[in-house]
Amino acid sequence: MNVVVMKKVLSYIKRYRLVVALSLAFAAGSVALTLYVPILTGRAVDLIVAPGDVDFPGILAVLTRIGIAVLLTALMQWLMGVCNNRITYGVVRDIRARAFEKIEMLPLKYVDGHSTGDIVSRVIADVDQFADGLLMGFTQLFTGVITILGTLLFMLSLNVTITLVVVVITPVSLFVARYIATKTFSMFKLQSETRGEQTALIDEMVGNGRVVKAYSREADIQSRFDEINRRLSVCSLKAIFYSSLTNPATRFVNSLVYAGVGVFGAVAAVHGRISVGQLSSFLSYANQYTKPFNEISGVVTELQNALACAARVFELIEEEPQIPEKENAVVLKNPDGSVALQDVSFSYVPDKKLIEKFNLSVKPGQRVAIVGPTGCGKTTVINLLMRFYDVNEGAIRVAGIDIRDMTRRSLRTNYGMVLQETWLKTGTIRDNITMGKPDATEEEIIAAAKASHAHSFIKRLPNGYDTVITEDGGSLSVGQKQLLCITRVMLCLPPMLILDEATSSIDTRTEIKIQEAFARMMKGRTSFIVAHRLSTIQEADIILVMKDGNIIEQGNHESLLSAGGFYANLYNSQFAR
């Protein structure tokens, strides 16, 4: 699996191939100069012949060359670091941008089916872990491989026999590193998944702290956190334990290499096949040759963690996107407001049916109320009308056009939507009101706020319409947040409206005033109203009574009451003495 992930990573690195080439060039240059220093050191040693027979001018010349080589090596390593950072954080930026772009393209069923914390963990924490591993890979892998190859060439130029000793012992280090790497990938992947689960729980609990405290669930949540934390501790400990075996194991092999070079080199020096200076160079090369294996083994371990995290990010990026729009998709302009649902069947889960053979015909300007017990499919109908979900069977038509044949943007632009669950963004009050109409004038904004009865509380805020709020509304009450969402729709005034429990968090006195404003707003506009309080939908032209995904009754308020059916029971249960 990690080979597949690595190929995907390389596809992102491909666009930085020029910078990669520069990094390789600087790595090769710095390694060549680093390997040249032991030769110079060996020459300096050979210039010390005996007591009183030392070539000081020659040694000074060699030391000067060593100084220049060291300075050039430092410069090239700095430039290589700049290139590696450019590659790493460029790739990370591209992956994050692709992941965020994919989140915006994913169907709502993916967002509904995955916790927010897990998605955030993939885009933030997993990408950060991946960046750390990738940077280490570029920083140490390039130089490590080039150092090994360069050292072999230099050693071969000095003595073939001793070089063969080094080459024969070294593969043991590679086998050890490979064995450990195969063990650690699955453990790092489990660690990443468990970390995502933990992030999801923390995100959920912090975001819903009031509910947790209100129901005294602190102990239960703490035990859930402790259980996840325990599992994270176990899998992290295993991953780190196996990965930490790499360094001592490879160091043991490296010590064998160094000892072998020392023994064979000493024998060769005694027999006059190499000089003492060349032996010192060989010992230095033996250290430099084995050192990259330690670094590479560490890099391999870190790359396992990085690739495990990258795999989770690529899972998100490769998720099935929402059904693309047709090439010749129609742009819905000035619809007459007619809406028809023809034999619509839909379910969130294939084996659990929800809506079956649903039929509805709404004429332009009609007000349609949808009522029924919780879970009967009221909000699902709204999701289908807005095409947040596509129907499994049948068709929904707006102005006679199948909504799958038109652009989502044009469909949703022609709906004004106020939900029970408010949604605000970080910004000013004005920014939140003008979300659907950014070019609105100050007069239009104030008029919309007055129509929704939000103007009075907005003026009491520290900076009025320029007051900055956070995405959760900050110090605003639930009712005030809902008034802002209503103001947003009042400003746009689209031809069709959807009001899903739009006044559920507003006091009765304000609700009466807003209902009057809604009545004016709905005049001449097709409106869909979902409400539990049946007193708010008595003026609707059509009331659909839903149960188990089917319309069981249909008519206006008076006719449904006189029928004495399910609607009458619902209504009487709310107003019985």
Q: Give the model confidence (pLDDT) of 108-150 as tens digits.
A: 888 877 777 788 888 888 888 888 777 777 777 777 777 878 8
CATH 3.40.50.300 segments of the chain: 339-575
Cβ density class 215-234: b for 16+ within 10 Å, e for less: eeeeeebeeeeeebeebbee
User: What is the structure's pLDDT at 577?
Assistant: 47
Is the confidence at residue 51, as pLDDT, over 70?
A: no
Average pLDDT over residues 17-25: 87
Average pLDDT over residues 342-367: 84
Q: Give the model confidence (pLDDT) of 514-537 as tens digits.
A: 777 777 777 788 888 887 767 667
* Structure-block tokens of residue 183: 């063990």
Q: Give the model confidence (pLDDT) of 266-316 as tens digits.
A: 777 777 777 777 777 777 777 777 677 666 766 776 777 788 888 888 888
d(CA 1, CA 22): 30
Domain 2-317, CATH homologous superfamily name and number: ABC transporter type 1, transmembrane domain (1.20.1560.10)
Q: How many CB atoms lie within 10 A of CB 449?
A: 26
In degrees and rounded to multiples of 5, residue 244 shows phi and psi of -75, -15
d(CA 394, CA 359): 9
Average pLDDT over residues 25-46: 80
Domain 339-575, CATH homologous superfamily name and number: P-loop containing nucleotide triphosphate hydrolases (3.40.50.300)
CATH 1.20.1560.10 segments of the chain: 2-317
Q: How many CB atoms lie within 10 A of CB 411?
A: 23
Q: Are the C-beta atoms of 39 and 155 separated by less than 8 Å?
A: no
d(CA 121, CA 194): 10
Place of tokens 């430092």: 74
Lowest mean pLDDT among 129-138, 380-389, 554-563: 129-138
User: What is the structure's pLDDT at 535?
Assistant: 65
Q: Are the C-beta atoms of 230 and 197 separated by less than 8 Å?
A: no
Average pLDDT value for the chain: 81
Reduced to 3 states (helix: H, G, I; strand: E, B; else coil), residue 296 is helix
Share of the chain above pLDDT 90, in %: 3
d(CA 47, CA 407): 83
Angle, in degrees to the nearest 10, between helices 56-105 and 17-46:
160
Average pLDDT over residues 58-73: 86
Length of the chain equals 577
d(CA 224, CA 446): 48
pTM, to two decimals: 0.65
Q: Are the C-beta atoms of 92 and 123 separated by less than 8 Å?
A: no
Name the nearest CA neighbour of 309 among 55, 556, 92.
92
Q: Give the model confidence (pLDDT) of 428-466 as tens digits.
A: 899 989 988 888 899 999 998 888 888 888 999 888 899
Name the nearest CA neighbour of 367 among 517, 489, 523, 504.
523
Of 63-72, 253-262, 516-525, which has the strongest mean pLDDT? 63-72
d(CA 304, CA 411): 46
Is the confidence at residue 573, as pLDDT, over 80?
A: no
DSSP state of 307: H
* Structure-block tokens of residue 485: 């969402």
d(CA 70, CA 74): 6
User: What is the structure's pLDDT at 72?
Assistant: 92
Reduced to 3 states (helix: H, G, I; strand: E, B; else coil), residue 560 is helix
d(CA 235, CA 142): 30
